[in-house]
Amino acid sequence: MNLINLFDLSLLGRGGKTALEFEGASYTFGEMDARANRMARALTARGFEQGGRLCVQLANCVEMIDLYLACLKTGVIFVPVNVLYKDREVAHIVSDAEPRLLVTASEAAELAREAAALPADRPAAPALDGDAPAGIIYTSGTTGASKGAVITHNNLATNALNLITCWQIGEADRLLLAIPLFHVHGLGNGLHTWLISGCRVRMLERFEHRKAASEFLDFRPTLFFGVPTIYVRLLDLPAEAACEIGAFMRLFVSGSAPLPAQVLEDFEARYGHRILERYGMTETLMNMGNPYVGERRAGTVGLPFPGVSARVLDPDGLCVADGQSGELYVKGPNVFPGYWRREEATDAAFADGYFRTGDIAVRAADGYYTLQGRKSDLIISGGFNIYPREIEEFLCGQEGVKEAAVAGVADRVRGEVPVAYIVAGAGFDAEATEAKCRAALASFKVPRAFIAVDKLPRTALGKIQKHLLPSATSASGS
Ligand code: MLC
Ligand code: AMP
C-alpha cells in the first residue's frame, strides 16, 4: 500500500468534514483531495514524471500541502527545503537532488493558478508500492555538506500509524500545527497523523510566541506538537490562559531536541499536563517515546515504538549492559533505506542492519532510554540542526580569518546557540564577518558572538578540543 491508499481510507465518509483551517479559510477533506488532484495534473502538464524531484522552499501554506500530495499521487519525489536557507545553502540541495523545479512563493502561486484551471477528478496514477520514495529530506552529516535522506511511503505510513495508535489520535482530535512542514517533525508527524486519522488541523505559517495564546484559545486544540523552544515560550503565557488551555488540551508532545526536566515540571505545574517527550531523526522518523498511559519520565525519551528495535553498543560494537552508555542503533520499518546517491555514506550509516544514530544513550533496567549527547558536535537551536563544520568552513573563507571553531552555548530559550572562536589575522572585522554570515547562512546558524583567540586548543593530532575553548554566555534569551 502507498500513502494515498491510506489517505483514501480516511476520506471515506469524511469528504465534507473540515480538514484544515489556515489563515481564516477552511477546507474539507474532499476539497483537499480535489486540490491535490488538480496540482498533480499541473505537475504532469509541466512534464514531471515518476521519480523526478520537486524542491519546495515554502513556509507552511496550503499550496505546500497540495504540492506534497500531488507528488505522492504522481510518484514525484518531494524535496522540502528550510525556508530560512539562503541561496548558498539552497544551491547545494538543488545541485545534489537535481530537481526539475525549485518552488518558492512566486512559483507556488503560478502553479496554483495552473492547477485551478484543471479538472479535480483523479489523474491516472502510477502503481507505487510502499518502498517507493515519497521524499528526500536534507540533513547534515558530520561533514559540512548535507545529505539527502530518502524517505519511503512505508517509512511515513509506519511512523504515522505508530503515533496514531500510541497517542490515541482520532477524528475528534484538533491539532494545532505550528511547526514547519519542511522537516520530518511537521511533515511526518503532523501532516500524516492528520490525513490518516481524519482529525481537524489548524496550521500556522509558523509559531510566533506573541500570538500563541490567541491561537490556542481561539482554535481550542486537543493536540499539540512542539520543540522544546516552543514549550519554553509557552511558559511565559499568563496563568489564566495556561489554565484554560490545559482544560481543553488532551496531549502535548515534545521532540527534535532535549526537553529540560525543569521545563517539563514547570509546564505541568502551569498547564496541568505532563508533556510526552519522544525522540526521532530525519533518517528514522520516530524511534522512541514516553508512554501515553504510564510514566512520562522526565529527561528520558521513553521506550521504542512498536516495530523499532534498539541496541546500545560500545566502540567495539558489543552491546553494553543496562545503565551503561554507548551509541544507539535502531532498526525497523521506520528507518530510511539510505542517502540519495551516496552509497558510501549509506554503507557507513548501517551496521548489521541497524542504523547508527550518532546519539549516545543509556537504557534503564525497566527499558526507558535516556539520551546523553551526540558523538558529533551537532548544535540544535530551536529544533533546527547546525553543523559547526559548515560554519567553520564558511568563516575560514572570510577576510582576516586564519582559523575558526564554532561551538554551541547553552541558551534558555533555544537550547543552544552557535558562537564562533576566531584566530584573526590582518583585516579581520567582526561586524563585517557577521554581516557576511547573515547574507549567506540561515539566521539560526549565524554565530551570536565572535570571540578572538590567539590559537585554537588542539590535540597532538591537530583535532580542535572544543571543550577547552573559553566559555561564552549566550547573548540571546529573547
Ligand atoms: C523561525 N524563524 C522562522 C521559522 N522559525 N521563519 C520562518 N519560518 C519558520 N518556521 C525565524 C524567525 O523569523 C527569526 O528570524 C528567528 O527564526 C527566530 O524567531 P523567533 O520568533 O525568535 O522564534 P522562537 O521563539 O525562537 O521560536 C523559533 C521556533 C523555530 C521554535 C518557532 O525555531 C522552529 O520552528 N523550530 C522548529 C524546528 C523543527 O521543526 N525541527 C524539527 C527537525 S526534525 P531572525 O532572522 O529574526 O533571527 C527532527 C527530528 C525529530 O529533529 O525528532 O523531530
Ligand atoms: P535531525 O537530524 O534534524 O533529524 O535531528 C535528529 C537529532 O535530534 C537526533 O539524532 C537527536 O540528537 C535529536 N533529538 C530528537 N529528539 C530528541 C529528544 N527528544 N531529545 C534529545 N534529542 C533529540
Does ligand 1 come within 6 angstroms of the Cβ of 255? yes
Average pLDDT over residues 368-372: 97
* pLDDT for the residue 374: 86
Ligand 1 centre from 366 Cα, in Å?
A: 35
Does ligand 2 come within 6 angstroms of the Cβ of 256? yes
Ligand 2 centre from 377 Cα, in Å?
A: 13
For residues 444-476, one letter each, b for 16 or more C-beta atoms within 10 angstroms of the residue's C-beta and e for the rest, the string is: bbbbbbbbeeeebeeeeeeebeeeebeebebee
Average pLDDT over residues 58-82: 98
Atom of ligand 1 nearest to the CA of 230: 31
Q: How many C-beta neighbours within 10 Å does residue 358 have?
A: 18
d(CA 118, CA 111): 11
d(CA 436, CA 427): 14
Does ligand 1 come within 6 angstroms of the Cβ of 443? yes
Q: What angle do CA 385, 389, 391 make, to 5 degrees?
A: 80
d(CA 419, CA 416): 10
Where residue 143 falls among pLDDT bands split at 50, 70, 90? low
Ligand 2 centre from 290 Cα, in Å?
A: 15
From 215, 230, 371, mutation site for ligand 1 pocket: most ligand atoms within 8 A of C-beta: 230
Cβ distance 444 to 416 under 8 Å?
no
Ligand 1 centre from 229 Cα, in Å?
A: 9
Does ligand 2 come within 6 angstroms of the Cβ of 374? yes
* All three cell numbers of 197: 486519522
Per-residue model confidence as pLDDT tens digits over 157-204:
999 999 999 999 999 999 999 999 999 999 999 999 999 999 999 999
Cβ distance 163 to 63 under 8 Å?
no
Give whole-number Cα distances, 76 to 72, 127, 346, in Å: 6, 12, 22
d(CA 352, CA 342): 19
Average pLDDT over residues 338-359: 95
* pLDDT for the residue 477: 46
Residue type, 302: G
* pLDDT for the residue 471: 83
Task: Give the containing element (helix H, strand E) for 450.
Answer: strand 450-452
Ligand 2 centre from 35 Cα, in Å?
A: 34
Give the chain's mean pLDDT: 95
Average pLDDT over residues 319-348: 97
Indicate which ligand has the atom closest to the C-alpha of 384.
1
The percentage of residues in the chain with a pLDDT greater than 90, rounded to a whole number, is 92
Domains of the chain by start residue, with CATH: 3-206 (3.40.50.980), 276-375 (2.30.38.10), 378-468 (3.30.300.30)
Indicate which ligand has the atom closest to the C-alpha of 258.
2
d(CA 225, CA 167): 12
* pLDDT for the residue 478: 47
d(CA 282, CA 113): 32
* All three cell numbers of 435: 554581516
Q: With 90 as the cut, is the pLDDT of residue 26 above it?
A: yes
Q: What is the dihedral of CA 443, 447, 448, 450, to 10 degrees?
A: -150
Per-residue model confidence as pLDDT tens digits over 378-421:
999 999 999 998 999 899 999 999 999 999 999 999 999 999 99
Q: With 50 as the cut, is the pLDDT of residue 62 above it?
A: yes
| Pick from 179-183, 375-379, 470-474: least confident | 470-474
Q: With 80 as the cut, is the pLDDT of residue 474 above it?
A: no
Residue nearest (by alpha carbon) to ligand 2 atom 10: 281
- The pTM assigned to this predicted structure is 0.94
Ligand 1 centre from 382 Cα, in Å?
A: 6
d(CA 159, CA 6): 13
Average pLDDT over residues 27-55: 98
d(CA 139, CA 159): 18
Residue nearest (by alpha carbon) to ligand 1 atom 30: 382
What is the distance of C-alpha 44 from the center of its chain? 29
d(CA 130, CA 333): 11
d(CA 15, CA 218): 25
Residue nearest (by alpha carbon) to ligand 2 atom 8: 256
Strand partners, 328: 312
Ligand 2 centre from 406 Cα, in Å?
A: 20
Where residue 140 falls among pLDDT bands split at 50, 70, 90? confident
Cβ distance 3 to 25 under 8 Å?
no
DSSP 129-183: -TTSEEEEEEEE-SSSSEEEEEEEHHHHHHHHHHHHHHTT--TT-EEEE-S-TTS
Q: With 90 as the cut, is the pLDDT of residue 446 above it?
A: yes
* pLDDT for the residue 79: 98
* pLDDT for the residue 129: 95
- Which residues neighbour 77 within 8 Å (Cβ) at sequence distance 6 or greater? 51, 52, 53, 54, 71, 133, 134, 135, 136, 150
Q: With 80 as the cut, is the pLDDT of residue 475 above it?
A: no
Strand partners, 410: 416
Question: The cell 533555544 sits on which residue?
Answer: 414
d(CA 230, CA 215): 14
Give whole-number Cα distances, 90 to 5, 80, 366, in Å: 32, 10, 44
